[in-house]
Structures are given as C-alpha cells and as structure tokens.
Structure 1
Amino acid sequence: MTLQTATATISPNQALWEKGDFTRLAATMRDSGTNFIKKTGVRVGDKVLDLGCGDGTTALPSARIGAEVTGIDIARNLVAAGNQRAAAENLQNCRFHHGDACNLASVADDSFDWVISVFGAMFAPRPADVAKEMVRVAKPGGRIVMGNWIAGDPTLIAQILKISGAYSPPPPEGFISPVRWGVEADVIQRFGEAGVTADQISFERETFIFDLTGTAEDFVGIFRDYYGPTMNAYAAAAANGKDADLEAELVDLFNRQNTSKEAGRMVLPATFLRVTVQV
C-alpha cells in the first residue's frame, strides 16, 4: 500500500490542526484511548486504520495488542510525533502517514479489518465523503468504529466548542459543524449514502477522561496555546478586546466540571457517541 505523504496546497483544515500542538492535549487522555481500543475487540494480526490519528492515542494501543496499524492524519506535525512515539516503543507494526480523511485515494479498497477514528475524521470538512471512504477501505465483514463529540452535550468538549464559537467569526458558507457526527440521525444518513443500512449501525454514549496535574488555569492554557479551534477563538476574542472574557468563561467551565477531589489535579469527563458500523 502506497500512501501520499504531502499535498500541493494546505487546506484550511490542515492549517487548523497544524497551527497548535495537539500532542499537549493528547497527553491528558492516554488512558481513555487505551480503554477505547480494549473495548473494540482489536486482535493480534488485525489490520487497523486509525483515521485522524493524531499522535497515536488509539493507534499505539492497537499496535501494542499486536495489530498492524496505519495511522493517517491531516496534520504533518502529528504524523511526525506519532512516528516518534511508535519508534520509541519499537512498535514496527505501527506507521503514521499524512493524508486527508475526505480522500483516501492512495488506499486500496477492502484494506482493513478495522477503521477507527476517535475525535479525528469528525473534523474533516466533507462528512459524506468521509463516510464513503471509511466504508470503501474497510474489508467486507470488518468494522468502522468512531468516537464523536455530541452536539449540545453539557460536558467538557462540546461546551468548549460552544463557548469558543461564541467568540469566533461566523463560519464560512457551507460549513458543517463537526459535532453533527454526534447526532445519530446524521450518522445514519451519511453511512446510508455510502451503502450502509441502519441495522448495521449501533450507538453508545461513553466517557473520555481528561487528566492533568495542575489548575483550571493551567488546563485552559493548553487549549489556548495548543488546540487549533480554541487558538482561533482567542485570536478573534483578542481582536475585539474580549480575550479576558473568554478566559474567564473557560476557567469557570473547567472548575465546574472538575471531578477530582485532589488539590492541584483536574479530572474532567467528556461524553461522546461511540458509533459502530458492521460493514
């Protein structure tokens, strides 16, 4: 299998995710990534595609089980970080590549037992194309498993995106909110257009845990300085003299949602929709 490692131009989506350093946020969610993979049933020798893989929060746990893992991400800095993490653990069965979830043209049909995307492909701008590509590259009898943030959910990430959106310019015409991937009817429609029937799709609500030693201000600082969507919100807020207001709203959110009883530790749950598609 040959994979493209570069594109001629940088799309807005690529620029967004290369702008910061998502590894700083991913470091707070490693245990949840491992638990997510344990529940899938990935086995030794399975061929796994991790789409929108970041630096390997779910790709590396799959490789540790003994699966043959290919990670694809739009952000070249995260691809490099993932390969470094895999090399550090001598996981020769895990390789990361640069690519676009909307167009996996260099990936052959029927290639993978598992197509997994946890908070990754949901941010690609053309969701119908993403669904079609995931179905195309999955083997007959394989599974697609997604973890998607939920529109309007009261827990951490949906609220961060909601607050950030209130300080950001209106999205461009034709923009489709990524949290629509957390709406069951939308998921059924998108996979339906890719030839999957509703009875092949199941849903569960589960929780990812973000765990950080530090204060709410410290954790907000990670989002402010390293997470692309929040970085853009801060830039827009600062242009209007409202960056302090944005900061105060986020700190308040983090303090209210912190479940830790330990001083100097933040443990914040975030509900997501697990989507499982039997191909």
Structure 2
Amino acid sequence: MTIQAEHITDTRGCQAIDVLKAKQKATWEDGDYVRFASFMEKGAIDIVTDWQLTPGQRLLDVACGTGQSALPASRRGLRVTGVDLAQNLVDFANSRARAEGLDARFDQGDAEALPYKDADYDVVVSMIGAMFAPRPDRVSSEFGRVLRSGGTLYMCNWTPDSMPAQLFKAVAKRVPPPPGSLSPVLWGDENTATERLSEHFTDIRLQRKLYPKWHYPFSTNDLVRLFRTTFGPVKKAFDAIDGDEQQTLFTELNNIYRNFSLPDGKGGITIQGEYLEVIAKRR
C-alpha cells in the first residue's frame, strides 16, 4: 500500500500517524486478502525453505499476513510468533495453526512498536510486510530490539522497478499518499535498505530475485478483477473513483500485469515480480 508517512512532524504529528495507521489497518482488512494471498503461498514456502532456519529457533514474523512465512517455519520445527496490523489476518493465521496442530501464535500489533521483549528472538522475518509501515526508522529499530545479538533478519521487499511498484503508482494516482510520505518500495533499493539497517545490523547481504511460483490460472483481465475484489489497496482505489476512471484504472492495471507476466500456454500467467532479499546479522 502506498499510504506512507515517515516525516509527519507538525503539531498534529501523533494524531496524523494514528489516523494513518487506522486507514492502513482498514485497507488491509478490506477485500479478501486470504484468497489473494493463497496464490502466493507456494512461492512463500519456497523462499522460507531456502533460508537457513533451524528447528527450535525462536522466530518472529513481522507483518505476517495470513501466515505465509510463519506457518512453513513452524512446520519445520521453529518456535513461531507472528504479528500483523490486520486483526482478521491474525485470526485466520491462528485458525490455520490450530487446524494443523502447530505451535505457532499470532498477535495483532504494530511493526513500529512490537509487543515483545528485548532480544527475545533468534530470527526475525518480514516477507513483503514491514516495508509498508509508515516510519522505516522505527521498524529497523524494532527489528534490532527484539533480535538477540547475532540473530538473523530476513526481509523480502518489492523493488522500485517491480510489477507491484508500478501497481502502487497507479493506486497512488487515485488515492494520493499524505505529503512527505515515502514509497514502501524504497525498502527494495539496496542503498536505502543498507542505510536503514546499518545502525543495528552488520553483514548485510542483498540480492534481487523473482518471486517464485507466482502463478494465476486465468487471464490478466481476470487478474485485475481478483485484485479489485481481494487486495485492499486496489479495492480502495476502485472504490474512490467513478465508472470512467474505474475503466481507465482497469486498463492500466491490465497493461501492467501483461508487461510483467509470462503466459503458461494454458490461458494462465506467471507474474515476474522482482524483490530484494535482505539477510543481516544483529550486532
């Protein structure tokens, strides 16, 4: 989502941030993110499988969504906690954990003020999640606070050139971000990510990758319809405009998906979504 605000510093700053976070929460709770995330779950499992995670480690998934990263880690024997701003996503993740008999817990909470003790985790992960928090300096500080010395941070963040970045630009035309806001995809820029993390982390390793197995068994037209009904930021953008503008946005998103996808020869597409993988050690 492109509603970002690191530098709201006037006398109403605290109130403005509270309003912003309330809007973000409502946006991510809108639509049907559970269905939206289901198409990206196979890729999330592949990414988590590649990470150097050890059974018994204490892992915190920040902005965990429906548990796409946390649940695979729990299945591998890690002691998992997840936290997300959206209550309905937390509820869904907890229900999945119970259904599978996994020892994983999910809490509603804020990436900028994590409700956990200092140095309480061996691993912190955030897959396309904490990059949307309004104030990245606080996110980085919280990552460092809850990780033990020598612990590992894993992040996946959309790059500024990625398909999602183009989608966010299209959304921002219809739902403008507050003045002074920062794009979430700055977390996908190598220099920016390094600068934000360097105070608390060392051995920062960065690599651009394509999100694996991001496949839809239908056309780009149907993909626009899926995003319009299930993905909160896109749904909000369509809700904010009239019929003619809706058709313009529909066409714009359709072109973006076509430009960043490969046909599978069976009427479906695979999205070519570039992200920056960040792996860093807590000082």
TM-score, normalization: structure 2? Answer: 0.87
| Structure with more contact order per residue of length (Cα contacts < 8 Å, sep ≥ 6) | 2
Correspondent of 1:236 among 240, 254, 259: 240
CA distance in 1, matches of 2:175, 2:217: 33
- Please name the residue that 2:181 is paired with: 175
Matched residue of 2:181: which SS?
Answer: coil
Q: Which runs of 5+ in 2 are unaligned?
A: 1-17
Contact 2:260/2:273 (<8 A) preserved = no
- When structure 1 is superposed on structure 2, of 66-75 and 171-180 the one drifting more is 171-180
Asked if structure 2 preserves the Cα contact closer than 8 Å seen for 1:13 and 1:125, the reply is no
AA at the equivalent of 1:261: D
- For this pair of structures, how many residues does the alignment match? 263
Moved more, 246-255 or 74-83: 246-255
Name the counterpart of 1:121. Answer: 130
Following the alignment from structure 1 to structure 2, what is the Cα–Cα distance between the partners of residues 178 and 258?
Answer: 22
1:89 Cα deviation (Å)? 1.5
Once the two structures are TM-superposed, the CA of residue 156 in structure 1 deviates from its matched residue by 2.2
Cα drift, residue 18 of structure 1: 1.2
Q: Which residue of 1 aligns with 2:83?
A: 72
Alignment of structure 1 residues 1-279 onto 2, 5 Å: 11-91=22-102, 93-104=103-114, 106-151=115-160, 153=161, 155-166=162-173, 168-192=174-198, 194-197=199-202, 200-208=203-211, 209-238=213-242, 241-279=244-282
Structure 2 counterpart of 1:248, one-letter code:
T
1:213-241 CA deviation, whole Å, 9 max, x = no partner? 222122111211121221222123327x3
1:174 Cα deviation after fit: 2.8
Q: For the Cα contact (< 8 Å) 2:218–2:267, is it kept in 1?
A: yes
Query: 2 CA distance for matches of 1:133 and 1:237?
Result: 37
- Find the aligned partners of 2:58 and 2:225 in 1 and give their Cα distance: 37
Please, what TM-score do these two structures have when normalized by structure 1?
A: 0.89
Distance in 1, matches of 2:237 and 2:153, equals 32
The SS at the match of 1:11 is helix
Shift of 1:127: 0.7
Q: Displacement of 1:90 after TM fit?
A: 1.5
Structure 1: gaps (5+ residues) = 1-7
Counterpart residue identity of residue 84, structure 2: D
Q: Distance in 1 between matches of 2:226 and 2:137?
A: 32
Q: Deviations over 1:153-172 (max 9, x none)?
A: 1x421221122223x24311
CA apart distance, 1:207 = 1.2
Aligned amino acid, residue 174 of structure 1? G
Instruction: Give the % identical residues.
Output: 35
Alpha carbons 2:140, 2:196 under 8 Å: kept: yes
Partner in structure 1 of residue 5 of structure 2: none
Deviation at 1:272, TM superposition (A): 0.1
**Contact 2:59–2:124 under 8 Å retained in 1:** yes
RMSD over aligned Cα, in angstroms? Answer: 1.8
How far apart, CA to CA, are the structure 2 residues paired with 1:213 and 1:183?
31
Structure 1 contact 237–246 (Cα < 8 Å) conserved: no
Structure 1 residue 44: Cα displacement = 0.9
Counterpart of 1:188, as a letter, is T
Question: What letter matches 2:164 in structure 1?
Answer: I
